[in-house]
Structure formats: C-alpha cells, structure tokens
Structure 1
Amino acid sequence: MPSLTRTAMLLLLAAPLTAPLHAAPPAGTPEQRAVRAFAAAKKAGPLDLHAFLVGMPKGADLHMHLSGAIYAETFLKDAARDKLCIDVDTLSFSKNDKGPECGAGMAPAAEVFKNQHLYDQMIDSFSMRAFVPSTGVSGHDQFFATFGRYGGTSKDHAGEWLDEVATRAAAQNEQYLEIMNTPTLANAGRLAGGVRWPAAPAVIADYGQDITGTNTAELSKLRDQLLAGGLRDDIAADQKDFASALASRNEIEHCGTPAATPACSVQIKFLFQILRQNAPQFVFAQTLLAFEVASSNPDVVGLNFVQPEDAYLAMSEYTRQMRMVDFLHGLYPAVHISLHAGEVVPGMVAPEGVRFHIRQAVDLGHAERIGHGVDVMYEDDPGKLLKELASRHVMVEINLTSNDGILGVKPPFHPLPDYLAAHVPVALSTDDEGVSRIDLTHEYVRAATEFNLGYLDLKTMARASIEHSFLQGASLWAQPDVFTRAVPACAASPLGSETPAAACLAYLKANTRAAQEWELEHRFKVFESNL
C-alpha cells in the first residue's frame, strides 16, 4: 500500500528524519556537536543554515551537465572573445560569417558590457533568473530553450568551463564531479545517416509499444555495419576532446605546481551524453559509440541519455532505446550506466507515460543510478519498484531546484520522502546549476528546509554520492550503503586517518572509489572537529 508509506513519511516531516532513520551518535563526539550545530543553524533560519552547510563535506555531484553548469556571465565573456554576434530579437548567439560587422538585427557580443539592459536580458535569456511562467511559456520551455541560445559558444572553452565548476565545487567542500558531456559525433552521425533501421518503426507510436528492429540478430547486424563503416574512428577524436579539456583545466588551475589552486583537489570524470531525440539508427550509433568510448577511455566512466524526457521521440522511442542499451550492455558489461528516467509528471504527458520509465531503465537499461526519478509513485506497482531499487542499491540523483523549475514539483508532491522511507539510496545534485543559478549548497539547504532533513541525513547522502560514483575499484564499506563498518583491510584504522595502516593504505591505492570515500571521512573528521 504505497499511499500509506507516503502518508507515514509525510507525518515524519513534522520531526527531523534523523530520529527514525539514524542511531544517535554518542554524546559529546564531534559528530554529535555537528548535529547540534546544524540544528541551531537551521532554527536560526536559511541564511545561517547556508553558512553552516557551505563548508560541510558533500562528496560528489553525480548529475551535472557541463553545458548547463556554466553561468551566463561566462558565456557572454567567451562570446565576446570569439567575436560572436547577438540576435537582439531572440537574445541568442549567432556566428558571424559576414566579416567584421554583425548584420541587421545583430549586435557584437562585446556590446553587452556597454549596455546594461542587454546584459541583463542575455543573462535572463540564458537562465531561469527572473523567469515567470506565462501563457504558452512554462518553466520547462524556458529551461530547455536556454541551451540553444548559447549553443554557438566554442567548445575550445571547455577547459575554462571545467575550471569554473571545479572552483565552485572546491569552495563548497566537494571532491568529485561526474560531468555529462557530448563529444564529437561526426562520424557516428554520418554512418547512421547511411543505414536503415532493421525494420521500419511505426509512423505514430504509442508510449513504449513499438520495439521493431530490436531483436538480437537485428541489432548485431546493425552494430557490425556501423563498426565496419568506421564508427571507431570517432574514439580518438572523442578522447582528444576529453583529454584536451582536462589538460586545459589543469593548466588554468596550475595543478601539480606550488601555485595550484584549491580546484585541483576536485577530481573530474565524464559521462558520455547520448541525445535521445533522434531516429533510432542515430540513437543506436551514439549509444554504441558511448559504450566503445567508455570501454577504452578511463576519463569516461559511463553513459547517460539526455534531452527532455517528455518529447515525442523520447516518449515513443523509450522502450526501443532501453532495448538498445540492454543489447549493448550484454557486449560491454563493464560500462557503467546512469539514466534520466521519471523526469515526467501527470499532465505533462498522458497517464500511460508515467507508468514505466524507471522500471524499464532498471530492468532493461541496467541503470545503476536513476536521474530525477520524479514519477516513481505513478509507476506500476510503485511499492514493488521502490523495494527493487533498494534491494539492488540503485541510487537516485535528486535535483530539487531542477524538478521545481522544469516540472513544477516540490513538497508535498516530490517523492524524496518515499525514497527515504523505502531506504533507496539518494544523493543531491545540481543538474544544470548555471541555468538554475544555484550551487550544491543551495540544494542541501533546500533539502534540509523543505523536507526537514537532519545533519545525519545529509551526511548519509554525501557518503552515498561517492559510494555510487563510477570511480574505479571497490568500496570502502563492508556492506553496500551501510556506512558503519569499513572493509577488513581498513577496519583497524580510524576512518579518515591521515596515517592508515599498511594494509588499508594498499587497499586505498588499489581502489580509487575507496580512496575518495576515505578522503570524505577525513573531511568530515576535520569539519566536525572544528565546530
């Protein structure tokens, strides 16, 4: 009876969730002092709470799109350097192919720094700042429209963008970012344009009903065609994209030198973004390339599907796309998978459209993490689904501000309490912090105030963020999602110690994920001891 679960959880919002979900730490310990300091800051108000939380160790942000993480101010500076033009009617960038002067209805991007009104208009156009929904223009429309407006900005600035997000993360005591990014797809796109889907898809398809062309023989043949045509030629170009961005970031931050900035302490890995609003042969080619790249490039630790989940192709092709992932997962089982699923709500799509996305992402798509997961209580047999997510340790990436801005979902209609009640692992993330004009601390404040979470709840989420990262190696913890006992190699060493025993040190050196978890425990030790 899922409704009873939710009712019970909502009643618990009258008291901190730390009471039913956590054993109280021993009185007088640094952790207990942190619990009291958090409670005092929360009682004082959101500004005091923010001041407390900005320094709290947060582990990782696992759901971040690079293009959406950059603030509009950065894009304006980049456009001015690149001598782009601004379409003053659409408030978007346009490449200048007509010489030194911008054409009619255009203004040089550098003009924004002399024209405050245009400057403000551009920031509003590129973000959710000052946005008020109106007839025919929803938060969803504004949010997704921003990407096309600054889309002409050169990817040569990628290193600068990585520095921006790493610098912001370091200032908030984050230590790891998994950033979604779409690399070069030129060859994959060309090849996909030259092949036919094995069986003609339905012209008009119901949600999840059309799976033509997805049996093993058909997909095997299509994969062979794409590989024979040279799809792997994109791997080197993609590797160069990722490597050059990281190298540029390291140069900007002076990493490895005495002048290294704090941002160097933030480790960055990538997830290969697959654009799902395309015909099936294009999606399959992208997905195949993503599996190939993630299998061969240690900087790319997994893949994800992106673009609005409520769009026609995303909805009508959903099951076919999950079957593609299922097929390729069988050939590349070591590649990690996180999937946007359940970023839809009733009214946005027909009732049938909110019944199966998370379920298929897990059962067909082999998702180890789910991005958003907002429609979980509308899916078929939600109680059973929640139990499966918990038992399989599938983590949900919670994006509170994004869910509010795009879907109009906030308490009491957000499913975070249901996930917590079912013991599904969750972690907070930003989604597109530049578009939303937020940061991860903002999401921590929002979770604490809107869902009445306590310090230990947030600490568990921070731990879960590293536990469910796609970093190399095994976990620090003896049991999944039980953050009380370390693996035998490290059980004798105080958690987060600067001098772990030799066996533990060897284990941490062999397992990057465990090493980052150890680092998080060290940061908690320092943070709590200084309160």
Structure 2
Amino acid sequence: MSNPFRSARVARVALATLCAAGLLATELAHADDAADREARVAKRMAAVKDQTARLRVFLQQMPKGGDLHNHLVGSVYAEDFMRWADEDNYCVKLDDKGLVAPPCKAGEVSAHGLSQKDPALYEQAIDAMSMRNFVPGVGYLSGHDRFFSVFGKFMPLAATRLGDTVVATLRQAAQDHVGYVELMVNPSNAYVFAPKVAKMPWTPGDYAADYARIEGQLPQLVAEARAEFDAADALVRRELHCGTPQADEACRVQYRYLSYVDRAQPQPFAFAEMALGYAVVQADPRFVGINIVDPEDNPTALADYRVHMDMFRFFSQRAPQVKKTLHAGELTLGLVPQADLRFHIRDAVAAGALRIGHGVDIAYEDDAPALLAKMAHDHIAVEINLTSNDVILGVKGHDHPLQLYLHAGVPVVLSTDDEGVSRSDMTYEYIRAVQEQGLDYPTLKQIARNGLSYAFIAGDSLWQADGHTPVKVCASSLKTLHADAGCAAFLRDNDKARLQWLQERDSAVFETNVLKQKF
C-alpha cells in the first residue's frame, strides 16, 4: 500500500507551493532585515504581554510548529461529542452524565435533541466530560481525579468516530496556526487483542517466550489496523474537502499517529499493546512512534514502571528503528512517595526515549544536573504541557520546571496534551508560557521550531543538531527564503525539512503583518 502522506505528486505540489510562497517571503526579507524585524516583533509582544486579550491576538496568529503531545480523544471538546451523540442517538446516563450506545435503558435519556429538550442536562453532560466549571473539593477531591474520570464518559462514542476526532483536532490546530500534529491513538482491535492476551499464560521477564505466543496473530491485526486508518483518513479528506478548491484550512495541517501502551493495565495487557504498537509502526508509515500513557501515579503504573521500561528495551532490540516518546515524570511531591520521584525520567531516557512527555518531577530526580546535561547533550526534548500540569498536578508558575529545562539547554516544545478536556488550546499554552514563565518572543520562536525539529516525521531536518543552525545545503537560501536548486532538491526529498521551511516562511509573513496591525 502506498503511503498517502508521501508520494511524488505530493512532493511536487508541495515544492511548487514552497517556491511560489518563497517569492513573497523573499520580497519580505529584502524589504526588512530579518533580525531587525524579529527584534521589533519581540518588542511588540513585550508591550502587550500583561494584557491577555492583546497577547491572545498577537499569539493566535503566530506559527507554532508542531503539537507533539496530543491525545486524540482528549483533544476533542465535549460539545463535539454531544453533537455526534445527537446524530447517533446515543444515550446520556443520568447518574454520571456519560455516553452509552442505544437503545436507552432506565436511568438514561436520548442525546438526540437534548440541547433543546433539556438544556440543563446537556450543560451538565458538557461539564461531566471536561474540566469546565470544575471546583476543587466539590464532587471530586482534586483536579487529578476529575480529569482522569472524564475519559470513560465519552470513550464508547469516541471509539466509533475516529475520523471525526481527527477532523476536529486538525481544525483546532489550523485555528492556532499549528502546522503538524502527532496524535496518540491505538487501533480499535488493540482493545480486543490485549484483554485476550491478558488471559493467556504469562512468563514474567521471559519476553521472548511471551512474544512467541502472540507473534503469529500480529500480521492480521496490523492489516485490520491499516484498513481502519485508511477509512479514517479518507473521511478526513472527504470532510475537509482536501485537494479541492473548497479545501478547509485544516488540510494544511500535516498529521501522523503514535501508538501507545496503557501502563495502568496488567503486564500481559501492556505487553500485547506494545507488541501490536511496534508492529503497526513498522508496517504503516502513518504511525511514526510509540508512547506509554495513563496516570503515572496509578498503583499498577508505579509498581510496573521498570518492567515497562524493560519491555520497551526488548522490543527496541528487535526493532531499533521504532521511535519512542515516553510519558515520564508526570508526578509531583505529595502525589506519590518521594522515592517514586527519583528515577522515572532517567529510566525513560535509559530505555531510549527520544522525547519525554511532561517531565514535571525533574528536580526530584537523583543527580538531576547530570540527567539534564545528558538530555541537553543527546538532544532529548521535553514536551511541556502547562495547562494540564496545572489542572492535574497543581504545578504552575514558579513551581513549574520549564525554566529549569531551558537554563540547562534541554530542547523544549509546548504541547496541548488534552486540550478538549482541559478547555484549552495551543495559543493558550503560549500565553501561559509568556505570562507565567516569562518567555520572550525569540524563545517562543525557537520552541515553535523545536516542535518540528523533534517531530518523528520522516526526513532530514532543515537545522543542524543545535536546532537553530541551518544545514549547509539551505543556509544561503534561508537568508532570503527562496530555495536555490540544491535546497529545493533537499526540501523535495525530506518531509521534515519541507515543513520547517514552511514554518520559516510563515514566521516571516507573520512578523511582517503583525508590525502593521493595531491591537
């Protein structure tokens, strides 16, 4: 099967777009020195940083690179789930306001027309499926408990709406001027396969024997997964009218998938998910890596943390080309015993993680300076999720380690995590980075670049390992944003570099435009 994201025709069309846009950007670059322009834009942002509405106008239109930490179902707003529930005649449970498939039973009411028939119940369902109107101590003792309670309330419906959840996420990304998204999502058959494996004989630590018992089932499961995502991607293109004159702006957002492992499940269950995840990544170029999810403070997740890292090492020895970004350090003092804060990030790095998700407890790690130095030296990026770290862990402002990572030279990206559940968006993450973390415009611009440099999308980078020095073949072209023959060939052959070029072009256009605007 051909890769729908990578074909000669797509590359030619994309390159033609780059060249045409490059002419405009060249005019901008010639008309206004880039360094001077950036300095004036930085001054403009500094002037509005304490006025949230004005800062929102500024940052909304800023190109933000990639969103590398995005749980697909958590990125969807509850209003979308309720709209789909209305269309599909799903039922709302009166006790916890969760959604279940029809027919409705006692204690359930149809979601069809609910916003008109019972607006109060409709609003209660929106609250129940998100953090909207959450008040600590009312109904739930913590934001952590409320946050993780909501997913089960929309998962029965979300499982039937894969393509629609992608559409909703891409539209939000486009609105925030995010050019690329990596979506954490599993094939639906993972949740049939893994429970079955959990009932099979299990030999703790003998992963070769455990794998041998399930290996024969993987090719069929992979084929089913590819067919499922073929259908989802077709729906995305159809719904957004991609490739037509009526194409939605969301068609410009590139996306890939990340499979994941549920760390709160029994070991055989997690092992089965990992086996299928690695197999899918190797077979389908739309899947660019693997992750591990679920509350890190869950008792099973804590008890099996090092077991999971050993599992990753086992599969990575078999398939070293599969890239890993691992949730690690989504913990804080008081949530778990201090002993559990001392090694999670380090062990994830040792297991081969190329990116770390959250990394909030870095200051509690054993020999944190050495770990930070290793992450900086090895260019292991950290995915910072300011809103969810606040909502789930209560960590924000000066308590957040973002500045620690920056001062240590660790590459940082900003990401949304579960923007639908948190009622946030990528622009708000940037606002928080400015107002709570004191980041200036050049730092934000580099973070936006990092969102593509550390993406798992195929191809070489436009930047050298330091993340800001251009590769030689495009160094002179970047000064004018007009690709010469050598740079054009490089961009044509490398998806990542092509996205990065677009980011630079869009940044130049943004900077030129924002200096002309009054707000």
Deviations 1:418-468 (A, max 9, x none): 001101000111100000111000010011000111000100100011000
Give, in whole Å, the separation in 2 of the partners of 1:527 and 1:447: 19
Give, in whole Å, the separation in 1 of the partners of 2:70 and 2:158: 19
Matched, 1:42 2:49: yes
Give, in whole Å, the separation in 1 of the partners of 2:220 and 2:191: 10
Q: How does 1:160-179 map to 2 (within 5 A)?
A: 160-179=164-183
Q: How does 1:495-506 map to 2 (within 5 A)?
A: 495=479, 497=481, 499-506=482-489
Q: Report SS of the residue matched to 2:150.
A: helix
**Cα displacement (A) at 1:190:** 5.3
Q: Report SS of the residue matched to 1:340.
A: strand
Give, in whole Å, the separation in 1 of the partners of 2:467 and 2:285: 28
Matched, 1:84 2:90: yes
Counterpart for residue 12 of structure 1: none
Matched, 1:390 2:376: yes
Q: Which amino acid aligns with 2:202?
A: W
Give, in whole Å, the separation in 2 of the partners of 1:320 and 1:169: 36
Give, in whole Å, the separation in 2 of the partners of 1:86 and 1:393: 47
Deviations 1:247-303 (A, max 9, x none): 111111100111111110000100002111111111111101111100110110001
Give, in whole Å, the separation in 1 of the partners of 2:272 and 2:478: 48
Matched, 1:55 2:42: no
Give, in whole Å, the separation in 2 of the partners of 1:162 and 1:27: 36
Matched, 1:492 2:476: yes
Q: How does 1:291-306 map to 2 (within 5 A)?
A: 291-306=278-293
**Cα displacement (A) at 1:137:** 2.3
**Structure 1 range deviating more: 26-35 or 257-266:** 26-35
> C-alpha root-mean-square deviation of aligned residues, in Å?
1.6
Distance 1:495 1:180, change over 3 A: farther
TM-score, structure 1 normalization: 0.88
Distance 1:507 1:286, change over 3 A: same
**Cα displacement (A) at 1:529:** 1.7
Give, in whole Å, the separation in 2 of the partners of 1:48 and 1:486: 33
8 Å CA contact 1:191, 1:226 repeated in 2: no
8 Å CA contact 1:467, 1:481 repeated in 2: no
Q: Which amino acid aligns with 2:185?
A: N
8 Å CA contact 1:355, 1:379 repeated in 2: yes
Give, in whole Å, the separation in 1 of the partners of 2:341 and 2:35: 48
**Cα displacement (A) at 1:64:** 0.5
Give percent identity, aligned residues only: 41
Give, in whole Å, the separation in 2 of the partners of 1:243 and 1:128: 32
Q: How does 1:259-270 map to 2 (within 5 A)?
A: 259-270=246-257
Q: How does 1:368-447 map to 2 (within 5 A)?
A: 368-447=354-433
Give, in whole Å, the separation in 2 of the partners of 1:311 and 1:198: 23
Q: Report SS of the residue matched to 1:270.
A: strand
**Structure 1 range deviating more: 48-57 or 80-89:** 80-89
- Unaligned ranges ≥5, structure 2: 1-31
- Correspondence for 2:190 among 161, 185, 188: 185
Q: Report SS of the residue matched to 2:161.
A: helix
- Correspondence for 2:208 among 197, 208, 220: 220
Deviations 1:194-245 (A, max 9, x none): 532214xxxxxxxxxxxxx1xxxx21222122113x1332101111222221
- Correspondence for 1:518 among 481, 501, 511: 501
**Cα displacement (A) at 1:352:** 1.0
Counterpart for residue 70 of structure 1: 76
**Cα displacement (A) at 1:193:** 3.2
Q: Which amino acid aligns with 2:67?
A: D
**Cα displacement (A) at 1:188:** 2.9
Q: Report SS of the residue matched to 1:494.
A: helix
- Unaligned ranges ≥5, structure 1: 1-24, 200-212
- Correspondence for 1:150 among 151, 154, 159: 154
Counterpart for residue 94 of structure 1: 100
Counterpart for residue 347 of structure 1: 334
Give, in whole Å, the separation in 2 of the partners of 1:285 and 1:27: 51
Aligned length: 480
**Cα displacement (A) at 1:139:** 0.3
Distance 1:409 1:496, change over 3 A: farther
Q: Report SS of the residue matched to 2:478.
A: coil
Runs of 4 or more, structure 1, over 6 Å off, are 25-28
TM-score, structure 2 normalization: 0.90
